[in-house]
Amino acid sequence: MSGSLLPSAEEAYSSPDAQGFFGPYGGTFVPETVVPALRELADAFDAALADPSFGAELDALLTDYVGRPSPLYRADRLAAAVGLGTVWLKREDLNHTGAHKINNTLGQCLLAKRMGKRRVIAETGAGQHGVATATTAALMGLECAIFMGTEDIRRQALNVYKMRLLGAEVVPVAEGTGTLADAVTAALRHWVERVEDTFYVLGSAVGPHPYPTIVRHFQKVIGEEALEQLKQKGARMPDAVVACVGGGSNAIGIFYPFLRDVPADERPLLIGAEAAGLGLETDKHGAALTKGSPGVLHGFYSYLLQDEAGNPKEAYSISAGLDYPGVGPEHSYLKDAGLVRYEAVTDREALDAFALLARTEGIIPAIESSHALAMLPRLAAELGPEASVLVNVSGRGDKDMDIVREAGLGA
Amino acid sequence: MTAERPGSRLEAAFRKGQPALVVYLMAGYPDREASLRALHTVADAGADVIELGVPYGDPLADGPVIAEAARVARSVPGGFGLAETIEMASEFVEARRETGPPLVLMTYLNPLMRLGLSESASRMRGAGVAGVIVPDMPVEAARPWLGEAHGLDTVFLAAPTSTDDRIRAVCEASAGFVYCVSSLGVTGERDRLSDAARALVERVKAQTSLPAAVGFGISSAEQAAEAAAFADGVIVGSAVVRRQQDPDALAALVAELAEAVHGAERSAS
């Protein structure tokens, strides 16, 4: 795209640049101690991609262990309830362990084994990535430690129990607000100390290069399958594709193939739903793209909730998985490039969408995914009653029963 | 890249014929007045260089003692960050009339970016700060800062995990001294720490004539003396910050460290 300051979608999507920048975002801003490990990881990742046996081993696990492809389900009663023509649900909630997270943990743990690491660590917010990592570690015989904020441990007791049952050590992180951002910091800090024998399984499309690219690679199966399934069903290209965005791994997983493979004039509107928490007018939200400004956190440059002195601000969301002050660097690029639109959804809207899906379709979504579902009434108003919308249901809501009960749903 | 400047005050502090003691203090901890007093206390007790930490909300490279000190420092109304630290540094430098130990600011990258690289560098120069350490700015990412940082020595970190190529790049980009991270953070294992540190210092000194200072996990006079036997400088952080609230204990520790470092038997030139 000559004449533009920004690379075209195709240029941007062949890969980030050699330093891991998507436009100005991304990069590697970490202590020197970790830099060699990131280089080693980038080299191992490139080598794995060049080795057909790596892809074959991963594909076999995705099929037989995870249960892929996840169904693309046409939710007619939901569509009627929100006033849309068609709603497609990409059912990542039906994966083994109940969310999209396992796509990435299988890929990264296979990488860890190739690299000769015998121990993996991970951060977790809602606990879905922690459970997926603990599951994969059990499957592959790897030692496993999961860093989790004390507040999240309180909110997600069931997942904590699951991780321990799977043989992982759950390391409580009491610093800060005891949530996801603190868990990422603690995991990175621990990795600095144990970098020689430990692989850090990062759960979202965040962190220093090459993590955003690695996570996108392992999650793009979501969008690739969805495009194929639409074709198989003889369905037309949807008018919009919606996913929730915390760090942004399920969103980049479904968006990326639409950006890479679908020509711009046929491409659906791509919409990321951030957490507006108690409202964007309050300071209780997690809307880094809508309300933040660019800065460095956790080793990468991206939109960030920060104060005047450059300290990260506390994020808030009813959903532990969206309770993060930053966002993946590729999403920052996509926002600035106008390739994806980002909107924010409040706790209340997410709870309403949660209840609506449960009652119209008999599907209990994760409270994270409910933020994406909450975009449906807005899109009905914008696109009209004939429109077709694809929603990534990134996870199931079993883990959220206590939270929604506390919020008064189903009473 | 920053050219080595003849007459760098920071480098000169390591060239006094004996190993140098670098003392880390957290700015604004437990409050502004006490930390300003602590600067004078450690200067009087024999510190050759003072590394002044800027309180930050996500101190990735720091252990729990320094992270907690940063939290306390930031908790005052209006906060305490880079701008306040530079302003306090200026007051200290002025009071010592440039006879005190040179100050190196230790700040994470985001506060620098938030204040602006150019504005930050300008204010630091105006305050008489000698140098800056940015632990989350590896050499590849440093070009924008180095373009603004003329007149300031930017110190980069070398780690035991760094490849020879990376150590060369760190040495070429550094000014003032090279910060050798003495271990991967497994504190308490003294033999291992010492071996890793010595090997790293040797690799750094093979690449540069800059002073090589060792830090991370050094908490006692005995360890400091051990490191001073092979390094040009010894950096002590958490052990000092733990006593930063108590002027007498702070002075006693720094005096003890200074004696150990300055009197160390050199095992290498």
Per-residue pLDDT tens over the stretch B123-162: 999 999 999 999 999 999 999 999 999 999 999 999 998 9
User: How confident is residue B1, by pLDDT bands cut at 50, 70 and 90?
Assistant: very low
Read off the pLDDT of residues A178-221 as tens digits, 9 standing for 90 and up. 888 889 989 988 887 888 899 999 999 999 999 999 999 999 99
User: How confident is residue B264, by pLDDT bands cut at 50, 70 and 90?
Assistant: confident
pLDDT of residue B97: 81
pLDDT of residue B27: 98
Catalytic residue among B11, B48, B51, B153: B51
- For residue B67, the chain A residue with the least C-alpha distance is A175
Closest CA to A278 of A265, A291, A267: A291
What mean pLDDT is predicted for residues A54-82? 98
What mean pLDDT is predicted for residues B183-193? 50
Most A CBs within 10 A among B109, B113, B114, B200, hence the mutation to make, goes to B114
Read off the pLDDT of residues B63-84 as tens digits, 9 standing for 90 and up. 889 999 999 999 999 999 999 9
Q: Do B109 and A296 touch (CB under 8 A)?
A: yes
Q: Does A239 have pLDDT greater than 90?
A: yes
Q: Does A111 have pLDDT greater than 80?
A: yes
Instruction: Give the pair of three-digit tokens for residue B53.
Output: 């930490």
Size of interface A-B (CB pairs under 8 A): 120
Contact list in A for residue B163 (CB cut-off 8 A) is: 36
What ipTM does the predicted assembly reach? 0.92
Q: pTM (2 decimals)?
A: 0.94
What mean pLDDT is predicted for residues B33-46? 97
- For residue B109, the chain A residue with the least C-alpha distance is A296
Read off the pLDDT of residues B214-245 as tens digits, 9 standing for 90 and up. 998 898 999 999 999 999 999 999 999 999 99
Give the contacts of A379 (CB within 8 A, at least 6 positions apart): A84, A239, A240, A242, A271, A387, A389
- Asked if the C-beta of A265 comes within 8 angstroms of chain B's C-beta atoms, the answer is no
CA distance B99 to chain A (A): 31
Q: Are A375 and A271 in contact (CB under 8 A)?
A: yes
- Report the DSSP beta bridge partners of residue A134: none
CA distance A199 to chain B (A): 15
Q: Does A411 have pLDDT greater than 80?
A: no
Instruction: Give the pair of three-digit tokens for residue A228.
Output: 């194929």
Instruction: Give the pair of three-digit tokens for residue A27.
Output: 């990069």
User: Is omega for the bond preceding A365 within 30 degrees of 0, making it cis?
Assistant: no
Q: Do B185 and A30 touch (CB under 8 A)?
A: no
Read off the pLDDT of residues A304-324 as tens digits, 9 standing for 90 and up. 999 999 999 999 999 988 999
Q: What is the mean pLDDT of chain A?
A: 94
pLDDT of residue A410: 67
Q: Can you tell me the distance from the alpha carbon of B9 to that of A411, in angstroms, rounded to the nearest whole number?
A: 71
Q: Does B121 have pLDDT greater than 70?
A: yes
Give the contacts of A332 (CB within 8 A, at least 6 positions apart): A22, A23, A25, A289, A294, A302, A303
Q: Can you tell me the distance from the alpha carbon of A100 to that of A249, in angstroms, rounded to the nearest whole number?
A: 9
Q: What is the mean pLDDT of chain B?
A: 92
Contact list in A for residue B181 (CB cut-off 8 A) is: 31-33
Q: Which of residues 158-177 of A touch B (CB under 8 A)?
A: 175-176
Q: Is B51 labeled as catalytic in the residue annotation?
A: yes
pLDDT of residue B98: 66
User: With b meaning 16 or more CB within 10 Å and e meaning fewer, what string describes B22-45?
Assistant: bbbbbbbbbebeebbebbebbbeb
Q: Do B109 and A29 touch (CB under 8 A)?
A: yes
CA distance B5 to chain A (A): 24
pLDDT of residue B187: 38
Q: Do A192 and B186 touch (CB under 8 A)?
A: no
Residue whose structure tokens are 């939710």: A75
CA distance B9 to chain A (A): 25
The angle at the Cα of A253, spanning A58 to A371, to the nearest 5 degrees, equals: 130
pLDDT of residue B186: 41
User: Is omega for the bond preceding A210 within 30 degrees of 0, making it cis?
Assistant: yes
- Asked if the C-beta of A247 comes within 8 angstroms of chain B's C-beta atoms, the answer is no
The set of catalytic residues of A is 101, 123, 394
CA distance B8 to chain A (A): 24
Q: Does A332 have pLDDT greater than 90?
A: yes
Catalytic residue among B48, B62, B226, B232: B62
Residue B57 has its nearest CB partner, among A29, A36, A311, at: A311
Contact list in A for residue B113 (CB cut-off 8 A) is: 295-296, 310
Cα-based distances in Å from A25 to A212, A301, A314: 11, 5, 21
pLDDT of residue A8: 55
Q: Is B48 labeled as catalytic in the residue annotation?
A: no
pLDDT of residue B269: 46
Residues of B with CB under 8 A from a CB of A: 56-58, 60-61, 67, 74, 79, 81-83, 108-115, 135-138, 140-141, 156-163, 166, 170, 181, 184-186
